[in-house]
Chain A
């Protein structure tokens, strides 16, 4: 039987939804499922880890793991993978996953694939599917070893409702700290804001909004909808939005029920981060803007005019 080890996606002390999504997929392919959780003061997450669908929980809980450092993080995953005898090791889509997966693969001498959107097992033969070239094509990849380390693309798998597991906690010893890469400081992202990755609705603002007043205008729309508020790279480069708000190939990959692109042209690198959304609405004054090629609904118009009307109309239908 295949054995899947899932690396728990923990952010600011909270277990993220990707963990349940990944274990749902693991169960769907008939695999035995374990999870490895890495951090400091994370014992309280054990019930959540069980409820996310794991049957063994490897816990690396140590003050030295408070801040992310790829070396020790990868060591914990390798340790758990060896103890569990995992042949599939999956990270949810995250910067820590992207940083640690190639290390884990190199240490285990395993195959490595990032941003996978599907995985199939035919006996011992593992195959995965993933996008490449800024999502322009898909690759089908045959794995020639019996071990694969993979980062799963955001939104690739769905959580099965009512999924659950059994508690079987295994404590891992603390890894050695990386003395050659010392984390000096973490400049935390603003807390209390809606995480783009979790949001059911995402409203993103682009260069069309011009300045802070334009950004604030679009933000009000996001607030009305309790939506995640994202941006194109142009607005991050312009200093209007924080790095963690960037949607696209270099930023967050989102797949919400509704994505609103306001004043965004639709560059390929931006599309790569949002074209998995269920419904896309675009507002752009240029009828030829490429964003309209992927939008389900397009409003050709000046966002400064359209956004206030949009807010009013949405209030009406939601009333």
Chain B
């Protein structure tokens, strides 16, 4: 089985973020691997370990992605492709999905695993759109993957009514939740080996396409402004004798906030 895993470089959500003149202030930001893609990498590596599989990652955009790709190598991914092109700076989910479609078509993969969303947009569209463009089955928000036979996998999905068990015919796309696994920490040996591994870098032309072909020049929507989120003010905090402060807070909830 050939598995393709997608890995996006995103801004570190744990750091503070500021908005000025409709844009995010770059100063002080750091970039990391999208957390949900780390779960996708872990899921791929586990499939490789428990079954016969070959694992390849693809990262689209992001400039210098050496660090995050090496991290995935150190976790056990075997091959890496980085598609980068300045044209992709403004790309939306649909364009990303079409880039992935090209990569997929060049590689005859059986299974694509993506994170359920990327932390820079929280959109959750790319993997599902990729499946639509490819015309292959797709299950999103997956919390378990099991190989059923040569042609099928069985996945568990967290749905609205409970956990759905779905059998998928390969090739297929799944998008994974962070509940699927706990990504491993790379070990020293893996880190050393990762440094020697090559990354296959391509621009859109090398991939046999162009920004225009991918629908990039006619984006269906575009972000025109970033704004600061409404932040909540810290309210009143009480320390001291538990009985006293708890009674005081309940009084405020009843008389000031009027929730009881």
Contact = CB atoms under 8 A, between A and B. Distances in A.
A95 B234 contact: no
B246 A309 contact: yes
B257 A296 contact: yes
Interface residues of A, number: 92
Contact of B122 (A129, A148, A249): A249
A279, A313, A318 pick with most chain B CB within 10 angstroms? A313
A116 to B, nearest CB: 11
A27 interface: no
Given A11-B161, A95-B159, A99-B128, A299 B257 contact: no
A112 B93 contact: yes
Interface residues of B, number: 77
A258 B164 CA distance: 31
B105 interface: no
B242 A306 contact: yes
Interface stretch (A43-51, A57-65, A100-108, A205-213): A100-108
B163 A243 contact: yes
Q: Chain B: interface secondary structure?
A: mixed
Contacts of A68: 159-161, 164
A255 to B, nearest CB: 12
Contacts of B190: none
A131, A137, A144, A293 pick with most chain B CB within 10 angstroms? A137
B137 A142 contact: no
Contacts of A103: 128-129, 132
A94 interface: yes
Interface string B216-239: 001111111111110010111111
B163 to A, nearest CB: 4
A181 B158 contact: no
Interface string B178-191: 11000000000000
A42 to B, nearest CB: 14
B177 A110 contact: no
A71 interface: yes
A187 B128 contact: no
Contact of A301 (B121, B225, B242): B242
B259 interface: yes
A86 interface: no
A87 to B, nearest CB: 13
Interface string A189-227: 100000000000100000000000000000000000000
A167 interface: no
Interface in A146-169: 148
Nearest to B163: A187
B253 interface: yes
Q: Chain A: interface secondary structure?
A: mixed
Nearest to B239: A300
A1 interface: no
B122 A131 contact: yes
A107, A134, A145, A275 pick with most chain B CB within 10 angstroms? A134
Contacts of B235: 280, 295-298
Interface string B197-220: 000000000000000000000111
B227 A140 contact: yes
Nearest to A201: B259
B125 interface: yes
A275 B245 contact: no
Contact of B242 (A144, A187, A280, A305): A305
A279 B259 contact: yes
Contacts of A143: 220-221
Contact of A133 (B17, B132, B157, B219): B17
Interface in A220-275: 233, 236-237, 243-244, 249-250, 257-258, 268, 275
Given A138-B226, A139-B226, A293 B232 contact: yes
Given A137-B227, A182-B167, 5 more contacts: A102-B124, A145-B220, A180-B137, A181-B139, A313-B251
14 contacts: A68-B159, A95-B158, A98-B124, A98-B140, A99-B139, A137-B228, A138-B228, A141-B221, A181-B137, A184-B167, A243-B143, A243-B179, A301-B245, A302-B242
Interface of A: 11-12, 67-71, 94-96, 98-99, 101-103, 105-107, 109-115, 127, 129, 131-145, 148, 178-189, 201, 233, 236-237, 243-244, 249-250, 257-258, 268, 275, 278-281, 287, 292-302, 305-306, 309-310, 313-314, 316-318
Interface of B: 11, 13-14, 17, 19, 24, 93-94, 119-125, 128-129, 132-133, 136-141, 143, 154, 157-169, 172, 177-179, 218-229, 232, 234-239, 242-243, 245-247, 249-254, 257, 259-260
8 closest A-B pairs (Cβ-Cβ)?
A296-B235, A111-B220, A106-B132, A298-B237, A180-B137, A313-B250, A181-B137, A102-B128
